[in-house]
A = this chain, B = another copy of it.
Amino acid sequence: MNSVRNILSDLEELSRLNFDTYGKDFLLNYEKSDDDIKAVILCATILRTLFRNNISTRVFDTGLAISQFKDKSTRTRFSFASAANLLGLTHIEFDESKTQVAHGETIRETSNMISFLAEVIGIRDDMFIGKGHTYMLEVGKALDEGFQTGVLNIRPPIINLQCDIDHPTQTLSDLMYIRSKCNYELDNLAGKKIAVSWAYSPSYGKPLSVPQGLITLLTRFGMDVVLAYPEGYDLLPETIEIAKKNAEKSKGSFKIVHSMEEAFKDADFVYPKSWAPFEVMKKRTELYEKNDQKALNELEKECLQINKKYINWTCDEKKMKLTKNGNAWYMHCLPADISGVNCENGEVSAEIFEKYRIETYFEARYKPYVIASMILLARVRDPISILDHLYRKNNRRIGIIF
């Protein structure tokens, strides 16, 4: 087991960090310190190593991990359930309020009613600009009140499983993947170029959280982050500001261009992905609140029409040739819209996708460990000694008989 050394060195590295995650929600990466982010990555790495060596990572004897998905989800649902299981928690889904404008009293009351024995709450609410993050804050406030008044024994931390602003469990998995291509050292990311590029998709209304999350996260590590999109497909302005500041601080760079080709040039990584323009998403939320179905349909039609103008914003062999040695790593959060496979014209050509298909699976597989790491860091006071104890005890995960 040559990964033994890695666990010990990872634990040592973790112990040198000054992270502050106990009892904290994990809503937006950009609110977290560099050391918080690094701690999540390291702890996820250690949990993964333990798992791969058939060492049990059961830290909870009982306890519930509650998830609430306001949008349909299979992958993140399984990742959350897997993470819960990895630590010994039981996953339970809360699916009452599928209405997206649940009024205040319900959120306050229900948040407490379901949380009497909750250890963690994961929420996905990514459909409407200005809504998802706000909803999570509201649930958090309700849980604060419940804990402070003694209704709840524990203040279950909230983990953002995708909101209108960020998608931290995805982008931290992406970061772990990028790190794996940089000899597993975050320090090696400095100077590497990534193109976060809009790409054509025949669908409408895809969330902005992934590109926003990528530009605000990757600029922290000295990367040269180029954001590319056709004019009009802007992201949330705040995230642009944060990306700029982060790049300045980390001595990386951040640039916006309106050409996929320019972005791809000499890139080490490319992340071509569709999203809806921020202004359209805002308008959509307004129309939705007014329940103006007719205007909503028209907005959709109009957008798909505009989209079509950028049908050549697709990741194909020709564009990949522009990247560093024609050999950049193609990334995607999946599922991708693949030309000729699940749509006529999409984000990526069938050839390129097939070439990197298994790589995109590698990218995805970190998510359960990232979520488990977030839960552990938020729920135990001394994660280092717990992880060390798990490692030394060496209880077999399969074949356990005490």
A contacts, CB < 8 Å to B? 51-52, 56-64, 74-75, 78-79, 81-82, 85-88, 90-92, 94, 96, 103, 105-106, 109-110, 112-114, 116-117, 119, 145-146, 149-153, 334-335, 338, 341-342, 357-358, 361-362, 364-365, 367-368, 379-380, 386, 389-390, 393, 395-402
Tell me the complex Cα distance, A113–B335, Å.
Answer: 10
Determine the residue in chain B with the shortest Cβ distance to A151. B361
Determine the residue in chain B with the shortest Cβ distance to A362. B151
Q: Which residues of B contact A59 (CB under 8 A)?
A: 398-401
Determine the residue in chain B with the shortest Cβ distance to A150. B362
Tell me the complex Cα distance, A401–B389, Å.
Answer: 7
Q: Which residues of B contact A113 (CB under 8 A)?
A: 74-75, 78, 334, 361, 364
Residue of B149, B358, B365 touching A116 (CB-CB under 8 A): B365
Residue of B62, B85, B401 touching A386 (CB-CB under 8 A): B401
Asked whether, in the complex, the Cβ of B335 is within 8 Å of the Cβ of A109, the reply is: yes
A185 to chain B, nearest CB (A): 20
Tell me the complex Cα distance, A61–B401, Å.
Answer: 9
Asked whether, in the complex, the Cβ of A338 is within 8 Å of the Cβ of B105, the reply is: yes
Q: Which residues of B contact A109 (CB under 8 A)?
A: 334-335, 357, 361
Asked whether, in the complex, the Cβ of A85 is within 8 Å of the Cβ of B90, the reply is: yes
Asked whether, in the complex, the Cβ of A82 is within 8 Å of the Cβ of B117, the reply is: yes
Tell me the complex Cα distance, A87–B362, Å.
Answer: 29
Number of copies: 3
Tell me the complex Cα distance, A335–B75, Å.
Answer: 33
Instruction: Knowing that A60-B397, A75-B114, A149-B361 touch, tell me 6 more A-B residue pairs with CB under 8 angstroms.
Output: A59-B398, A62-B86, A82-B117, A90-B90, A112-B364, A379-B398
12 contacts between A and B (CB under 8 A): A56-B62, A59-B398, A60-B400, A61-B400, A62-B87, A63-B85, A64-B82, A74-B114, A82-B116, A105-B342, A113-B364, A149-B358
Asked whether, in the complex, the Cβ of B396 is within 8 Å of the Cβ of A61, the reply is: yes
Tell me the complex Cα distance, A91–B368, Å.
Answer: 17
Most chain B beta-carbon neighbours within 10 Å: one of A358, A362, A386: A358
Q: Which residues of B contact A396 (CB under 8 A)?
A: 61
Residue of B94, B368, B399 touching A117 (CB-CB under 8 A): B368
The verdict on A380 contacting B402 (CB below 8 Å), with A90-B90, A96-B74, A109-B335 known, is: no
Asked whether, in the complex, the Cβ of A81 is within 8 Å of the Cβ of B91, the reply is: no
The verdict on A91 contacting B92 (CB below 8 Å), with A59-B399, A75-B114 known, is: yes
Q: Which residues of B contact A395 (CB under 8 A)?
A: 61, 401-402
Determine the residue in chain B with the shortest Cβ distance to A341. B105
Q: Which residues of B contact A357 (CB under 8 A)?
A: 109
Asked whether, in the complex, the Cβ of B94 is within 8 Å of the Cβ of A91, the reply is: no
Q: Which residues of B contact A92 (CB under 8 A)?
A: 78, 81, 91
Asked whether, in the complex, the Cβ of B342 is within 8 Å of the Cβ of A110, the reply is: no
Q: Which residues of B contact A361 (CB under 8 A)?
A: 109, 112-113, 146, 149, 151
Tell me the complex Cα distance, A372–B244, Å.
Answer: 53
Q: Which residues of B contact A60 (CB under 8 A)?
A: 397-398, 400
Tell me the complex Cα distance, A150–B341, Å.
Answer: 25
Q: Which residues of B contact A334 (CB under 8 A)?
A: 109, 113
A343 to chain B, nearest CB (A): 11
Tell me the complex Cα distance, A91–B66, Å.
Answer: 14
Asked whether, in the complex, the Cβ of B116 is within 8 Å of the Cβ of A79, the reply is: yes
Determine the residue in chain B with the shortest Cβ distance to A92. B81
A153 to chain B, nearest CB (A): 5
